[in-house]
């Protein structure tokens, strides 16, 4: 039986999402250990909507796993939560058909990026990017909308594989300011490696007057020109939602 597993995790507590040889403390590795235990010691893979970088958290990540033993979704949720550490939490488990695929069938993903532009705050240092410099929200608002639409995002990602198709659709890109906090939000059909962090880093550089505004359309057309602005740090980035 295939199960759709919706879970959240604190990325600051792990060495990234993706399972790696010789790295024990990954979200995927820990989830798969728990699944193996439940699935009569059979190696059991969890396929998620996509990996997240080291330091990135997920309010909502979705994966699927095939389990041979007869177990209700409710009991699978409880069993997983009793086996995994408290930095990961299974929110929901559903039985799905064998055609369901957490990665290929994801229609829409939303990432948010939180930045503190006020005084350094030690309480949230692992959860919010501590930029601690003022940013002009109007510049950010006017720039960010240029990302909306279907574009080749080669300039705004870290693609080693030159043949990878870098076309993605950004359905919505917005930014809001609440007190000393700036929150960027991007909803799209998919995101490339470091893409959200590179876009946020670029926007921050424009607002800090390090880069000329109005150049995003240029980079979206001239896909051989990588932007050279600083990639925003992982701390502050959250996978907020995955829709199917």
Task: Please list every residue from 47 through 66 that binds its own copies, using CB under 8 A.
Answer: 57, 59
- Indicate the burial class of 233 (C-beta count within 10 angstroms; 0-12, 13-18, 19 or more): middle
Which residues have C-beta within 8 Å of that of residue 39, sequence separation ≥ 6? 67, 68, 69
Shortest distance (Å) from residue 8 CB to its own copies = 6
Q: Does 241 bind its own copies (CB under 8 A)?
A: no
Q: Catalytic residue among 53, 66, 126, 172, which?
A: 53
Query: Interaction with its own copies in 177-206: which residues (CB under 8 A)?
Result: none
Region near its own copies per CB under 8 A, out of 97-105, 107-115, 120-128, 160-168: 120-128
Q: Does 123 bind its own copies (CB under 8 A)?
A: yes
Site for its own copies in 126-145 (CB under 8 A): 127
Longest dimension (CA), the chain: 59
Instruction: Estimate the crossing angle of helix 27-38 against helix 73-83, to 10 degrees.
Output: 120
Based on the residue annotation, tell me whether 209 is a catalytic residue of this protein. Answer: no
Task: Restricting to residues 1-40, name those near its own copies by CB under 8 A.
Answer: 8-10
Q: Which is nearer to its own copies, 62 or 157 (CB)?
A: 62
| 89 binding its own copies? (CB under 8 A) | yes
Contact between 171 and 189 under an 8 Å Cβ cutoff? The reply is yes
CA 85/CA 7 separation, integer angstroms: 12
Rounded Cα–Cα distance for residues 26 and 15 (Å) = 5
For position 119 contacting its own copies by CB under 8 A, the verdict is yes
Among 122, 160, 179, 224, binds its own copies (CB under 8 A): 122
What would the two tokens of residue 185 be?
A: 């939000």
Q: Which of 91, 106, 183, 211 binds its own copies (CB under 8 A)?
A: 91
CB neighbours of residue 5 within 10 Å? 25
- The residue among 57 and 154 lying less far from its own copies, judged by its C-beta, is 57
Distance (Å, rounded) from C-alpha 242 to C-alpha 227? 27
- Positions touching its own copies (CB under 8 A) are 8-10, 57, 59, 86-89, 91, 119-123, 125, 127, 238
Among all residues, which ones are annotated catalytic? 53
């Amino acid at each position: 039986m295939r199960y759709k597993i919706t879970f959240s995790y604190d990325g600051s507590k792990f060495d990234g999402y993706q399972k790696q040889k010789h790295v024990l403390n990954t979200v995927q590795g820990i989830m798969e250990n728990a699944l193996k235990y439940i699935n009569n010691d059979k190696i059991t893979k969890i396929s998620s909507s996509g990996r997240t970088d080291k330091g990135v958290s997920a309010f909502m990540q979705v994966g699927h796993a095939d389990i041979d033993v007869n177990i209700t979704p409710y009991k699978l949720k409880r069993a997983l939560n009793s086996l995994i550490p408290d930095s990961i939490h299974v929110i929901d488990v559903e039985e799905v058909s064998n055609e369901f695929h957490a990665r290929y069938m994801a229609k829409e993903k939303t990432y948010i990026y939180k930045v503190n532009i006020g005084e350094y705050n030690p309480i949230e240092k692992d959860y919010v990017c501590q930029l601690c410099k003022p940013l002009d929200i109007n510049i950010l608002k006017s720039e960010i909308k240029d990302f909306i639409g279907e574009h080749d995002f080669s300039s705004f990602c870290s693609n080693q594989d030159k043949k990878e198709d870098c076309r993605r659709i950004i359905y919505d890109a917005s930014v809001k300011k609440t007190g000393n906090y700036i929150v960027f939000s991007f909803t799209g059909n998919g995101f490339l490696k470091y893409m959200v962090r590179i876009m946020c880093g670029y926007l921050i550089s424009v607002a800090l007057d390090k880069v000329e505004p109005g150049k995003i359309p240029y980079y979206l057309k001239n896909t051989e020109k990588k932007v050279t602005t600083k990639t925003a740090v992982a701390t502050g980035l959250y996978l907020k939602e995955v829709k199917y």
